[in-house]
């Protein structure tokens, strides 16, 4: 487990990897939703999840599902940083025959638990994994499922929300990366999925709402979820789409984008400055 400053550093390393994966040669990638998830992923992989990168099927592991699978490059980044595969593999993302597909693929990428990205389905898969953990008495383990707030429009999310409460899955933690933007603009102005906390409470979940870029708040929320019995916990993580790349922050245009050379250099320079600062500590 890493300390909080290491986790902050990891989050910016994820951002750096994501920017490099997108590059500036015409390829596109989901920059906005990857950057909004960076602290969530960094706290999970760096500070919470039990796993062994060299033994991805290790029985004692916790399970992680990135239901917002379009931001797969962020998951690949954190997995590479944690040692699941060499970092060089990141630069092959979406190449023909690559182990890193546009959306997570369990057969191609060791450590990916299940395919996600047809939005709305990850939480149901997580329910299945949580049921197995109960059946097989892995009581110390948890399933963490990161969803998008645009994804909240998918009806299956709420089917799974009911199922998780029905089965009293206190070993299941949902995390909503609430960056307030979907592909075409502000969620509130398009198909309003708010209010979220009230909805999840109404469905019977334990709800924790926090700043999704606050590493300590995230770690505390996981701890609170771990010790909340009898029902599942959802963490509404308020985030900024494109966080950490100033020109992309809060802009739907960077949901799935390519980068000009200038944008690329600016983005890397901003992230590198923070990495240099954090590395001093």
Where on the chain is the footprint of other proteins (CB under 8 A)?
63, 105-107, 113-118, 121, 124-133, 135-136, 156, 159-160, 162-163, 166-167
Please say which residue, 40 or 161, places its beta carbon nearer to other proteins.
161
For other proteins, the closer CB: 134 or 251:
134
Closest CB to other proteins among residues 109, 179: 109
Other C-beta atoms closer than 10 Å to the C-beta of 142 total 25
**Shortest Cβ 106–other proteins spacing (Å):** 5
Residue closer to other proteins, measured from CB, 46 or 122: 122
Element (H, E) at 178: strand 172-178
252 φ/ψ sector (left φ>0, alpha ψ -120 to 50, else beta): alpha
* Least distance between other proteins and beta carbon 234 (Å): 17
CB closer to other proteins out of 87 and 94: 94
Structure tokens at 48: 């919470």
Partner residues linked to 266 by β-bridges:
none
H-helix or E-strand spanning residue 63: strand 63-66
**Least distance in Å: CB of 222 to other proteins?**
20
d(CA 18, CA 201): 34
Minimum gap (Å) between residue 107 Cβ and other proteins: 6
For residues 230 and 121, what is the distance between their CA atoms, to the nearest angstrom? 23
Residue 68 Cβ vs other proteins, minimum distance, rounded to whole Å: 14
């Amino acid at each position: 487990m890493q300390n909080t400053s290491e986790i902050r550093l990891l989050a910016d390393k994820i951002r750096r990897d994501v920017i490099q994966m997108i590059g500036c040669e015409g390829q596109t990638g989901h920059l906005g939703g990857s950057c909004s998830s960076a602290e969530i992923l960094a706290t999970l992989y760096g500070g919470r999840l039990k796993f062994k990168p060299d033994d991805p099927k290790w029985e004692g592991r916790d399970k992680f599902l990135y239901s917002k699978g379009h931001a797969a490059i962020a998951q690949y980044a954190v997995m590479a940083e944690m040692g699941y595969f060499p970092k060089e593999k990141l630069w092959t993302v979406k190449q023909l025959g690559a182990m890193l597909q546009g959306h997570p693929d369990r057969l191609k990428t060791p450590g990916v638990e299940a395919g996600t990205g047809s939005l709305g389905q990850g939480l149901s898969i997580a329910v299945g994994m949580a049921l197995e953990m109960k059946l097989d008495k892995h009581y110390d383990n948890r399933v963490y499922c990161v969803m998008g707030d645009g994804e909240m429009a998918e009806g299956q999310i709420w089917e799974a929300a009911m199922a998780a409460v029905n089965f009293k899955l206190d070993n299941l933690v949902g995390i909503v990366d609430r960056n307030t933007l979907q592909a075409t603009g502000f969620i509130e102005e398009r198909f309003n999925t708010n209010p979220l906390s009230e909805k999840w409470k109404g469905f019977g979940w334990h709800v924790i709402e926090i700043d999704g870029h606050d590493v300590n708040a995230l770690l505390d929320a996981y701890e609170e979820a771990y010790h909340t019995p009898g029902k599942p916990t959802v963490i509404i993580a308020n985030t900024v789409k494109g966080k950490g790349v100033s020109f992309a922050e809060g802009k739907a245009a960077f949901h799935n984008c390519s980068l000009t050379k200038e944008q690329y250099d600016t983005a890397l320079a901003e992230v590198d400055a923070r990495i240099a600062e954090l590395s001093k500590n």
